[in-house]
Every structure is written in C-alpha cells, then in structure tokens.
Amino acid sequence: MGDLPSEKKFRHFFCNAGQFFPLEWDEQPAHCVSADLISLLATKEALREATKGNSIINNSKETVHRPMSFPTMKQKISQHPFRRRVNAIKRTFALVCAALAMTASMASGDWTQFRFDSAHHGVAPNETILSPANVANLTVKWRTTIGDGAFASASVVGGRVYVVTRPPAGKLYALDGATGQQLWNFPPDAITGDHAWTSPTVANDIVYFGVNRPIPVVYAVNATTGQEIWHHTGPEANIVSSPTLENGRLHVAYTDGTIEALDPTNGQPIWSVIHPGGAFSSPAVTGGRLYIAIHNQGLLALDANTGSQLWLAPMPGPQWSSPAVENGRVFVGSRDDHKVYAFDAVTGNTLWTATTSDWVQTSPAVANGVVYIGNNAGNVYAFNAGTGNLVWQSAVAPGFAFGSSPAVANGVVYIASALDASATHFDGKLYALNAATGQVLFSDVVSLGQGEARWVQASPTIDNGVVYIPNYGDGTVAAFGLNAPTPTPTPTATPTATPTATPTATPSATPTATPTSTPRPHPTPRHRPTPRR
C-alpha cells in the first residue's frame, strides 16, 4: 500500500466527480451571494407573479413603482388566461419531447452522459462483444491527438466520440468513433484560459457541456454540425460537475453551491437553489430526486421537480465522489475516512459503511448487486450492495492513485490509474478486471509518451466492443478494441471427369461407339465475406 498523500501534496488537486483537476485552494470563489438573491432564485414563480403588476422586487427589498400604462391589444391577448394555459401546455410538451428523446437515445445502448445514465450506474448494460473470455486480446485501434489534455470521460453516441479539454483553450471535440478523425470542435472563439472539466451529455442530437471562461457557461451544441444552439451563464464560480439529463431537465452544479435545473430546449432555468459548501461532484437524478455530494458537508438530496431540500446526510471531509443510485440505495465514496457509504434513498439514513486502505475520491459503479470502487492506493474493491460485505479486493496498481472511476460491462471492470503520492511518477494504464473475481485480465498504457505524458484521469467509456479513454498528459484519446478475425477460406473442390465408356460390338450389326461423356465441372465455392471492423 502506498503512503497516504499529504494534504499539502494534493492541495492543488480537486476532483470532477472522482477525478482530480488543478485548482489552488485560494482560487475558491467567495460565498458572497446575498440572501435576497437566494430568495429570488428559490421563488422564481413568485417573482414572475410580482412583476405582472406595476411593481417589481429588487434585492434590497424595496418596492420600485412603475408608471401606470395601458396594455396594448397584443398584451391583452398574451395575458388572457386561455393564452397563458396554451403557453404552459407548449412548455410542458417541449419538456416531454426532450425526455422521450433522451429515453430513446438511452435505449440504443449509447453512452450518453457521465457514468452512462442519470442514476450514475457506471455500467454499459448492452455490451456483448467484450467479455472476460476475450478482453485480454484488446489492442489499440487508434490514437488521436486533440491538442489539450482531457480530465473528463468521453460520451459516445451514434458512432461519434465527444470529449472536452483543459486549458489553454478548453473545447468540445467530436471524433469519428471508428477512425478517431476529428469532425469538428467548439467553440471557435475559445479564449486562452478556457477550461472544461465536465463530461458531455448527449441527447436528441444536442451536446451539453460546461466551460469556465472565467464565469462558467453551459453550452448546447448541435451534435452533427458543432453549431451553438444556446448558452446559459452561471454564477461567479466554477463548473466542474458534469450535467445530468433526466425527465426533460438538465441539472448542473457549481463550486459556490448553486444547483440548477435547466430547460434543455432553451437553457432557461426551471429552478435554481444554492447550498453552502459547494459542489465538486456530479448530481445523480432518478425517481424524482437529485443526489449530490456537497464539499465538506455530506450527501444532499433535493426534490428534482422543485429543488427543495429533502435531507442532508453528514460525511467527513471534502467530498469528490459522485453518487450512484440503485435499488433504493445511494452509494458514494468519502475521502478522509477512506470509506464507501450506502444511504437510504428516501430517508438519508446510513445503511452501511465499508472501509478501504486509502482516500476514496472516485465514483462507484453498481452492477448485479455489487458496488465497485477504486482508491488512492491503487486498489479496486467490490462490496455487496445490500450488506457492504467485501466480495473481493484487488491490488491492481499498487502505489498509484485511481482518479478514474470504474466502468462495468458484460462481466468486466475497466479502470485507469494515474499518479503516485509524490505526483512525479505516472502509471497511465487501462486495466480490465474480471468482475466476479477481481483478476486482472488486461493492461496497457493509454499513451505512448513518458513521464507526465502518461497522466490519465478520465474514466473509461465502453460502446459496441470498444473502450474509449482520453489522456490528460499529452492530449490524446485512445480507442481499444478487438482485431477482426482473419477469415478462413473454404477449399475449392477439384472437378472429377466422368470416365469414357468403351464401345462394345454387337453381332450382326456395325459396332457404333457410344459418345464420350463430357465431364461437368462443379462450381467453385465463394470465400466467406470478411467481417467488418
């Protein structure tokens, strides 16, 4: 087991949902949002009603009177109760369409957002090509350099790979999943110092992601063309949480504690609340509830429809792990006490805790009743989801921290190692483990570089027999897959001639030779088609 990293050594590393990112402690934004502004954000509908008359409410709680004016005919029509009901129906219909589009995309098996789905299972349920029987045969299909390193995991939809990059010009890239060829990047006007730490979320041919520039911006971009559809400006903070799409709402969180639900069709806030402590993990949303780890406080549960707080379960120390929800339980890692927690999803009561050997800052994956997670000592653990009992423990990369969260597909656990406690040695390997036993079945470097070039923080993404993983150190994205088998041709049959008949003389008749039969060749069989890659 490696030494426990000191607070000083890792002071400049925060985590995006179980992933480090460089940010000095003194860069944290001050919590200077006025109580009046918080009230207005939390009561958006009340503010809307207040502005229908001749006065508005400002942050100083003063009433500002407007001069009386008579409405025009157009205003009268727009304010008619029937018209307001029609507009409400239109808004509801748009949200329902967005939710249905997201569901259709998820059904295809694409990896559409951080940890695969809104509950953050970290599991590709439709993977059938890779398995424990053949994963040892993985090989690099392609490596593509996108210029700047990537901390966040990739999303894969419709044969395209979407990945974001760090400074100096944080961008969103779209790559061809088969070749790694760059299709487009956004934004074209990237400013030096822009940085993106969030995994992209893709639905209905739209890619959503966040950029810090320096005030954070959430973008919606056409997934095919790379053209901007809308953008939403956040608070004076940072966005390191990946957006979560569920039930027609895009949920985003910021380091000042602001949590918002946006309309994915136009970026308008549906609700917005702020909770002291800040958010450095990504929200899991399922069953009408939003779960997020709050820095230095614990696990927070909100009503996903209104943003109102349901409960807060205390946990010690900074919280970098993103929660996963399965079967009425919420699972999350804890840094300082080296534990994995299981909470009741409805009440917030602690169901069990399990202790590991070092910091836990990665996010759990939950598959077939087992919770998988890695820690800073290079160990991967499997715990029974119901009891917390240890199923197995595997020393995968001793001494090297896991910033990458595990991903599970068809009986295989994938995870990538990062760096040691001194932050001077880098392992930079992709590992594949047997999900039932913890046995390491495969390992290979993500980058061909040396030293810091082999710094991997992103989590693996599995789609249709290929494992995609970005590299922070040298700005490459690698795709691992199986080589197509070489077809074995069926032997060509050699035609056999029919023997020539010997003429036999008949008495009292002139012997007539029987004609020689012409041999009929058998057709040459065709080769089997070469399997497509």
Tell me the average pLDDT of the chain: 78
Residue tagged 């307001």 (tokens): 84
The residues, ordered by sequence, that sit 6+ positions from 220 with a Cβ below 8 Å of its Cβ are 206, 207, 208, 228, 229, 230, 231, 264, 267
| Burial class of residue 472, CB neighbours in 10 A (0-12, 13-18, 19+) | buried
* Amino acid of residue 251: H
Q: Within a domain: residue 94?
A: no
Mean pLDDT of 170-182: 96
Q: Which residue has the higher pLDDT, 319 or 292?
A: 292
What is the arithmetic mean of pLDDT over 61-67?
31
Helix (H) or strand (E) holding 49: helix 44-50
Using CA atoms, how far residue 249 sits from 145, 207, 246, 284, in Å, is 33, 14, 5, 12
- For residue 87, tell me if it sits in a domain: no
Residue 476 has pLDDT above 50, yes or no: yes
Q: In the prediction, which pLDDT does 346 show?
A: 98
Per-residue pLDDT at 427:
86
Mean pLDDT over residues 349-371, rounded? Answer: 97
Enclosing H/E stretch for 74: helix 73-79
Q: Is the predicted pLDDT of residue 423 greater than 50, yes or no?
A: yes
Q: Is the pLDDT of residue 96 over 70?
A: no
Specify the CATH number for the domain of residue 301: 2.130.10.10
Query: What pTM, to 2 d.p., does this model score?
Result: 0.74
Asked if omega into 214 is within 30° of 0 (cis), the reply is yes
Say whether pLDDT at 421 is over 80: no
- CA 511/CA 107 separation, integer angstroms: 81
pLDDT for residue 517 is more than 70: no
Domain around 469: 135-481
Distance from the Cα of residue 456 to its chain's centroid: 16
The C-alpha atoms of residue 476 and residue 59 are separated, in whole angstroms, by: 47
Between residues 169 and 386, which one has the greater pLDDT? 386
211-220 confidence digits (pLDDT tens)? 998 799 999 9
User: Could you tell me if residue 98 is inside a domain?
Assistant: no
Per-residue pLDDT tens over the stretch 77-87:
445 555 555 45
C-alpha closest to that of 260 among 217, 318, 295, 298: 217
Q: 115-163: per-residue pLDDT in tens?
A: 999 999 999 999 999 999 999 999 999 999 987 788 899 999 999 999 9
Residue 484: predicted pLDDT:
73
Residue pLDDT, tens place only, 375-406:
999 999 999 999 999 999 999 999 999 989 99
pLDDT at residue 239, rounded to an integer:
94
Residue-level pLDDT at 39: 29
- Total domains present in the chain: 1
Q: Strands of 223-344 (E only): list them.
A: 228-233, 244-246, 249-253, 258-262, 269-274, 284-286, 289-294, 298-303, 309-314, 324-326, 329-333, 339-344
Q: Please say if the pLDDT value at position 72 is more than 70.
A: no
Distance between CA 364 and CA 388 in Å, rounded? Answer: 13
Q: Is residue 14 part of a domain?
A: no
* 122 DSSP assignment: -
pLDDT at residue 447 in the model: 86
* Predicted pLDDT of residue 151: 87
Query: Is 130 inside any structural domain?
Result: no
Average pLDDT of 12-37? 34
User: How many angstroms separate the most distant Cα atoms in the chain?
Assistant: 137
Residue 34 has pLDDT above 90, yes or no: no
The alpha-helical segments, DSSP class H, found in 141-296 are none
Residue pLDDT, tens place only, 102-118: 444 444 579 999 999 99
pLDDT in tens, 448-461: 878 787 888 899 99
In a domain, 192, yes or no: yes
Nearest alpha carbon to residue 141 among 482, 531, 485, 532? 482
Structural domain contains residue 532:
no
Rounded Cα distance between 125 and 141, Å, is 23
Would you state the pLDDT for residue 85?
55
| Choice between 248 and 500, residue whose per-residue pLDDT is larger | 248
Residue 435 lies in a domain: yes
